[in-house]
């Protein structure tokens, strides 16, 4: 973030005229963020001053630990903070400039915008996290020769569409394959409409206002149908860009016919495991997170214990709306999947369950009874992770043949320590997945595909 001497001068003045009588405070200590992780959302140190800036109240305050604690408890702050959470436009402009407007209209400059919670950010900002400065290697897999588009700011006008891979009308998603200008290898762009805020105040602010354009399509008696164009900040969509995308990625996101496989532990050892070992998706993104090389400022909980530790952060595809809450817990230890779990992993699983629930309650105010906590089998990425999603959100991958509740996994192992080395596990496999062919070769799936059967 460039900081000119001019802006520093301006800042000096602004701070003087705006600041509260001071200063019983002390300079903000970054370790306070570790002690109070939720402060990352709203407390910003002010450069070279014994003050902190409250992003919610848009005001500087004297900066002692007890003062911040007291301020957090005030009604005025609680109200301002709840407004802040949804005011994406303001968040965006604040994070972009690193300067904040005070009530009198002047600005103060605050430190290190990278501590901002990423759950609050727009997807395009998440993309810029992979900047050259951060030296985050992208997932190259089989496309190692092409430089990732994430290394610099991207523009979708440079994206040449090649193929529509899939459409999910229920979830309002499109999956498109194409190329970014100057890059040979394929990219996948996933666009997804965001869910609506449910609080009246945000619906009102976002949609029922003068800025929203509404056009009549037709009327039939008491019924009218209209097309609506909300203001820019409220009509954003979530975009995920995968580049360079490997053939496995293209297969994963393409339309395909599915078949159900009932995998015994024997077929896991003889067919599935060799397949995973030869062609699983790269775990580089997981390792980057675990080593704090990527998404470090999105981490909401971390327990570094090598056996029982884990780390929590928002899922890549979460748009930040509480109604679609999607958080991931990544185990520190490399464990491939639930197939490897036994009694020795119970402390880890119980730790994820307990501390994960506590963290989500503290951070997002969602109690355990409103959470769906589960693991996938088969997962896309073979490093043990647990999904925490809002129960009323119909998240992807919660089909009975894929989602395994964490509580059930724990109970199964408590009842039988080697349950996951004994039980048959069913999963769906797509016809264009190489694993499908392997199961076919072993006579465990019919040799004729559904399409060829239809024509015969």
Where on the chain is the footprint of ligand G7M (CB under 6 A)?
285, 295, 313, 315-317, 328, 376, 379-381, 397
CB of 171 to ligand G7M, least distance (A): 13
Instruction: Kindly state the DSSP code that residue 46 receives in the 8-state scheme.
Output: B
Answer yes or no: are the C-beta atoms of 179 and 148 closer than 8 Å: no
> Please, which residue, 46 or 328, has the CB nearer to ligand G7M?
328
What is the secondary structure of 318-386 as a DSSP string? --S-GGG-EEEEEESS----GGG--GGGHHHHHHHHHHHHHHHHHHH---GGGEEEEEESS-SSSS-EE
What is the secondary structure of 298-315 as a DSSP string? G--EEE--TTT-EEEEE-
CB of 374 to ligand G7M, least distance (A): 9
Closest CA to 139 of 285, 316, 251: 285
**Catalytic-labelled residue, pool 71, 150, 376, 385:** 385
> Please, which residue, 54 or 119, has the CB nearer to ligand G7M?
119
CB of 202 to ligand G7M, least distance (A): 25
> Please, which residue, 80 or 316, has the CB nearer to ligand G7M?
316
Strands 403-405 and 310-314 turn out to be unpaired
Count CA atoms within 13 Å of residue 247 on its CB side. 5
> Please, which residue, 44 or 252, has the CB nearer to ligand G7M?
252
CB of 22 to ligand G7M, least distance (A): 40
> Please, which residue, 11 or 298, has the CB nearer to ligand G7M?
298
Distance CA 356, CA 329 (A): 7
Q: Which residue do the tokens 């979708």 mark? A: 156
The three-state secondary structure class of 441 is helix
CB of 313 to ligand G7M, least distance (A): 5
Answer yes or no: are the C-beta atoms of 190 and 164 closer than 8 Å: no
What is the secondary structure of 154-179 as a DSSP string? --GGGEEEEEEEEEETTTTEEEEEEE
CB of 262 to ligand G7M, least distance (A): 20
> Please, which residue, 46 or 406, has the CB nearer to ligand G7M?
406
Known catalytic membership, residue 249: no
CA distances from 261 to 401, 420, 430, 434 (A): 9, 16, 10, 14
Known catalytic residues? 385
């Amino acid at each position: 973030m460039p900081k000119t001497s001019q802006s520093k001068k301006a800042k000096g003045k602004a701070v003087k005229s705006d600041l509260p009588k001071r200063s019983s405070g002390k300079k903000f200590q970054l370790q306070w963020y570790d002690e109070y992780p939720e402060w990352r959302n709203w407390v910003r140190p002010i450069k070279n001053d014994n003050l902190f800036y409250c992003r919610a109240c848009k005001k500087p305050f004297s900066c002692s630990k007890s003062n911040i604690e007291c301020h957090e408890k005030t009604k005025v702050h609680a109200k301002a903070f709840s407004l802040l959470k949804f005011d994406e436009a303001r968040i965006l402009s604040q994070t972009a400039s690193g300067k904040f407007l005070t009530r009198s209209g002047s600005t103060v400059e605050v430190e290190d915008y990278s501590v901002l919670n990423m759950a609050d950010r727009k997807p395009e900002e998440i993309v810029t996290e992979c900047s050259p400065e951060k030296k985050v290697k992208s997932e190259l897999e089989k496309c190692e020769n092409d430089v990732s588009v994430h290394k610099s700011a991207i523009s979708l006008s440079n994206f040449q569409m090649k193929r529509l891979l899939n459409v999910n009308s229920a979830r309002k998603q499109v999956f498109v394959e194409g190329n970014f200008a100057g890059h040979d290898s394929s990219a996948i762009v996933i666009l997804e409409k965001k869910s609506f805020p449910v609080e009246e105040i945000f619906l009102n602010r976002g949609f029922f206002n003068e800025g929203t354009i509404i056009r009549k399509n037709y009327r039939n008696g008491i019924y009218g149908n209209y097309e609506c164009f909300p203001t820019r900040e409220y009509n954003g969509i979530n975009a995920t860009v995968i580049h360079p995308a490997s053939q496995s990625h293209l297969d994963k996101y393409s339309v395909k016919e599915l078949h159900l496989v009932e995998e015994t532990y024997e077929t896991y050892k003889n067919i599935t495991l060799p397949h995973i070992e030869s062609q699983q998706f790269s775990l580089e993104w997981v390792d980057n997170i675990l080593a704090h090389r990527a998404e470090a400022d999105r981490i909401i909980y971390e327990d570094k214990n090598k056996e029982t530790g884990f780390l929590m952060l928002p899922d890549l595809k979460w748009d930040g709306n509480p109604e679609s809450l999607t958080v991931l817990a990544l185990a520190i230890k490399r464990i491939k999947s639930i197939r490897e779990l036994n009694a020795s992993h119970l402390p880890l699983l119980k730790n994820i369950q307990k501390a994960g629930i506590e963290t989500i309650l503290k951070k997002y105010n969602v109690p355990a009874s409103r959470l769906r906590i589960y693991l996938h089998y088969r997962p896309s990425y073979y490093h043990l992770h647990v999904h925490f999603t809002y129960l009323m959100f119909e998240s992807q991958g919660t089909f009975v043949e894929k989602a395994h509740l964490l509580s059930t996994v724990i109970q199964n192992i408590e009842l039988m320590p080697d349950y996951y080395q004994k039980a048959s596990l069913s999963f769906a496999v797509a016809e264009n997945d190489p694993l499908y062919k392997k199961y076919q070769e072993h006579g465990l799936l019919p040799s004729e595909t559904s399409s060829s059967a239809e024509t015969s």
